[in-house]
Amino acid sequence: MKTLVDFLQTKEIEKSQIFIHLKCGTTEAFMLQYLAKKYMQGQDDVVVLDLLQDLYTDEDYKYLDYLKELKSLLELGWLHQQSFTPIKISELTPLELLNTAVGLSPSFLKLLQEGTLEVDLPDIKPYADHLEYLQDQFFRIELYQKMSIIRQNTHEHSLGIDRIQNKLQLLEKRIEERIAQTSESLVLDKFFKQKKMKDKEQVIFIALLREEYSATDASLREMNTLIDLISLDEYERIKNRSLLEDGSNLIGEGIIDYEEMLNPFGGISRAFYIVDEVLQSIIHPQKNKKVRRLKLNALMDEQDIFELIEPETSLEDVVLNAKTQETLENLMRQVDKEVISRLVEWGIKDKKSGIDARIIFYGAAGTGKTMTAYSLAKSLKRQVLAFDCSKILSMYVGESEKNVRKIFDTFYDLSNKTKSEPILLLNEADQFLSSRSSGISSSADQMHNQMQNIFLEQIENFKGMLIATTNLLENIDKAFSRRFNYKIEFKKPDEAQRAKLWEMMLPEGAPYEKDMDIAKLAKYSLTGGQINLIIKNTAYKVAVRDTPVFSIKDFLEEIDREKDANFDSEKSMGFLSK
């Protein structure tokens, strides 16, 4: 503590042992000495006005002239504001500091205690093992975090950043030298070289790896936080976004992935994580796991029940009634991981289970039920196992009850084998959900009732996310209705929505006559499925012409033909089906 005593007692402040490290003038140094004495008296912080009035004269408010020196100490990192809502120092005017409280920063207290801020690193020696190497790498991320925090809260050219940057450079050089002296291959270093990962990509990866070891939820996983970690200014933030976007090396090579969820403010946030196979190879290198997680598509040939769907559209690509859209957004919020963790904490939900939701999409054919199910899966980064319920009676004659159990048993088997959480989609589930027969009935009715009872039992105990689509909600048995968490109606689109659907579906590269008017087409009451079919039929008709140009007349003819065909009674079309 000799340095501290020297600083407190010296009258010629520039001759104190630590003055050379302060990088400031004598006026600022006297302020620090004043605060150091207050600190020794048990006072952690001092109001700026009191500090200036104690040190300088009140005459003509001369003490106000010294506000700029005090701000300089904040920028250098020797002081910090004692405030619950700190403001960036670079954005503060000196006068705004007058009635705030300031205190000595941890960096200055360390300087008083040790007499220097130079890093005293141990001698260079080989890494004893993989964990010792990770320890240095995690300390490296800690320094990046400190720099990021300082950049956001103080002047970007502050001495605080310079000191940490020097420490970081020394550490990174030390890591390189220790690697060079280590005879055994270090798993993480070898991985970086194999994947040809650049410095900033390595920092992102190590930051996510540190989160896995520290078992935190999101402090370094969020996209903007990771970008801030490796960016010096706004230009670099924009440039570095490409490192975390689809098609980047990290995501394209299957090294990291992300979960995309609606946040409470209606926006979409991305939380990144290391892909499980990569993570296990780093955390448990001694196991050399050769068994890879099975993919769903590798198991599809082993069963004859489901169609595997890889969704191509997200909820942003769907045109829906405003009320339906609102309900879906609320659903997205309720399946957010943070919400799930609260439910587990409150004892409402089992910690071991994932997201549980049983949903009915109901509405007329062609209103977008199936496409929305796919789009919801895309937004949740899930695959879909789809089953056409109209096939259940014809799969194996006389074994329909058995087949109901087989649907769910196969779904659980595929999920367990692949350790994934696909969405179970039951299309055209009317016969499963319709009211059961009562009184004396035929053997066919008895079989149908038995099949429905088994289905009801399976729905009651279902774990995961299930979506059933149906045309008429009023025909649903009340016992089934109670088992579903969400019942979401799909209404026929209004004129404004139809205009948007026409605009989205019309082929972009096709030639159109000048009188082409989407508003005129939108006046016809059609579902999304009908619009899609009309556009396809019109395209086939126009494509065979010597001069293939789309006209408003072509579309109106197809609309009339579709209306005459009483399309609403058909079941075959889905919204934007291909």
Place 478 in a pLDDT band, splitting at 50, 70 and 90.
confident
**Stretch(es) of the chain classified as CATH 1.10.10:** 2-114
Which pTM value belongs to this model?
0.51
Q: Convert the pLDDT of each residue in 142-151 to its tens digit.
A: 888 888 877 7
CATH of domain 2-114: 1.10.10
CA distance 59 to 57: 5
Mean pLDDT of 503-526: 91
Tens-place pLDDT, residues 103-128 = 998 888 888 888 876 655 556 788 88
CATH value of 296-490 in 3.40.50.300, 3.50.50.60, 3.40.50.1000, 3.20.20.70: 3.40.50.300
Convert the pLDDT of each residue in 208-228 to its tens digit: 998 888 755 456 788 888 998
- Please name the helix (run of DSSP H) or strand (run of DSSP E) that holds residue 249, with its range, or none: helix 249-252
SS (H, E, C) 187-240: HHHHHHHHCCCCHHHHHHHHHHHHHHHHCCCCCCCEHHHHHHHCCCCHHHHHHH
Q: How many Cβ atoms from other residues are within 10 Å of residue 398's Cβ?
A: 7
What is 426-437 written as a DSSP string? EET-HHHHBPPP
Minimum mean pLDDT among 33-47, 86-100, 474-488: which range?
86-100
The mean pLDDT value for 292-308 works out to 79
pLDDT for 566: 55
**Residue 400 pLDDT:** 64
| Fold assignment, 495-569 | Helicase, Ruva Protein; domain 3 (1.10.8)
pLDDT exceeding 70 applies to what percent of the chain? Answer: 83
pLDDT at residue 217, rounded to an integer: 47
What does the alpha-carbon distance between residue 321 and residue 526 come to, in Å, rounded to a whole number?
Answer: 14
**pLDDT reading at 556 higher than 90:** yes
The pLDDT of residue 390:
75
Most confident of 165-174, 271-280, 515-524: 515-524
For residue 10, count CB atoms less than 10 angstroms from its CB and return exposed for 0-12, middle for 13-18, buried for 19 or more: middle
pLDDT value, residue 291? 45
Looking at the predicted structure, is the pLDDT value of residue 197 above 60? yes
pLDDT of residue 3: 87
Q: What is the mean pLDDT of residues 522-548?
A: 92
Copy the structure tokens of residue 285.
């290198």
CB 175 within 8 A of CB 137: yes
**Region(s) of the chain under CATH 3.40.50.300:** 296-490
Question: Is 273's pLDDT higher than 70?
Answer: yes
Q: Helices 159-181 and 67-76 sit at what angle, rounded to 10 degrees? A: 10
Read off the pLDDT band of 569 (50, 70, 90). very low
Start-end ranges of CATH 1.10.8.60 in the chain? Answer: 495-569
Separation between Cα atoms, residue 261 and residue 270, nearest integer Å: 7
Quick one: average pLDDT of 63-91? 76
Please tell me the predicted confidence (pLDDT) of residue 293: 54
Q: What is the mean pLDDT of the chain?
A: 81
